[in-house]
Amino acid sequence: MPKVNNNNSELINEYLEHIKKEKSVSEGTLKTYKNIGESLPFSLLTTQPVLIKKLKDLYSNANTLQLYLNMIILVRRHNDIDTDKLIKFRNSLRDEIIESRKKNLDELDDKLPKLNVIMDELNDLTGIRYILNYLIIEHGLRNKDLNLQFVKVLPKDKIDNYILNKGKHILLDINDYKTSETHGNKQIKITNEKFINEFKSLNLKNDDYLLSKKDKSKITNISTFNDKVLNLTIMKLGQNKLIKIVIRNLLNNKKFQKLEQISNDRGTSLSVLLKSYNLLNGLEDEKEKEKQD
């Protein structure tokens, strides 16, 4: 294994301190940046051709290369060192990444069940499993959105995600989620009778979390929470695959209004949904190529 270049630690830490002051950056992003930079066995400040060669030697995956290049470019910019060749190389990876994503989506499409199978499973569920799978399938919520606290009244300073029983409907008030800085507060009103009844059956007390630790406190470890959600999803597919199944069905049946609702509830633009979650994306491109040939 190549020896890690310890000089990078000082460069990375200096840059991280800078962006902490200048920008709103999550702890997860800071940790990722630190891990990427400190794992490199060569200096971030060496010449661009050497950097490109060494990165190619170490990593063959275009996504991984792009991730490392992003970090290196940021640090070099911070130190007023040239990045033009690195940026050009990073841009050249985009087509490869897009093609790889489409190929993966096509392969996934062959493996995933149809929506009617998923809906049959959903209808047979009860309790917390029904609640979580319903929120993913009907509203496209991510794992982080599902870290919900039951409250009778919304607090003045809303920093968490909340779920309220309003009698004739359930209200979700979501503030802590992936794209919150872009989309702001999300409120989702649920009138589905079974959902309301299943939620009531949980018998949550004020301030209880939908999923919690043994002591009823909030699960703050991301991996722990994601694992819990994964194990509760239908066929252990996870929210990412479930939303792909939903989008495939909506597009096949031209249900664009529902697709727009999923986009709003998830806090994801339609363009991102169609590019990253559309199982038909690669297939449609191939059909278009066949027409042109």
146-174 mean pLDDT:
95
Question: How are strands ordered across the β-sheet holding 170-174?
Answer: 148-150, 161-165, 170-174, 186-190
Identify the DSSP state of 144: G
49 token code pair: 């051709």
Question: For 100-141, how does the pLDDT look when each residue is reduced to its tens digit (9 = 90+)?
Answer: 666 655 555 557 888 999 999 999 999 999 999 999 999 999
Q: Whole-angstrom Cα distance, residue 140 to residue 211?
A: 18
Integer Cα distance of 55 and 219 in angstroms: 37
Cα-to-chain-centroid distance, residue 266: 10
User: Residue 270 has which token pair?
Assistant: 């339609």
Q: Give the Cα separation of 92 and 288 in Å (integer).
A: 23
pLDDT tens for 47-65 read: 999 999 988 888 877 778 8
Range 60-63, long-range pairs (CB < 8 A, 24+ positions)? 62/93, 62/96, 62/97, 62/100, 63/97, 63/100
Mean pLDDT within 155-164: 94
The runs of H, that is alpha helices, within the chain are 7-22, 27-39, 48-58, 62-78, 84-92, 94-111, 115-124, 127-139, 180-183, 193-201, 222-232, 238-252, 256-266, 270-276, 281-292
The winner for highest mean pLDDT among 8-17, 32-41, 139-148 is 139-148
Token pair belonging to 5: 């270049």
CATH architecture of 111-290: Orthogonal Bundle (1.10)
Nearest to residue 45, comparing CAs of 5, 92, 99, 17? 5
Which residue, among 147, 160, 151, has the nearest Cα to 224 in the 3D structure? Answer: 147
- Between the alpha carbon of residue 141 and those of residues 67, 136, 188, 222, the distances in Å are 26, 5, 11, 16
Q: Is the pLDDT score of 247 beyond 50?
A: yes
The Cα 73–Cα 91 span in angstroms is 12
So where are the chain's domains? 7-92, 111-290
Question: Is the pLDDT assigned to residue 273 strictly greater than 80?
Answer: no
Cα separation, 266 vs 71, in Å, equals 28
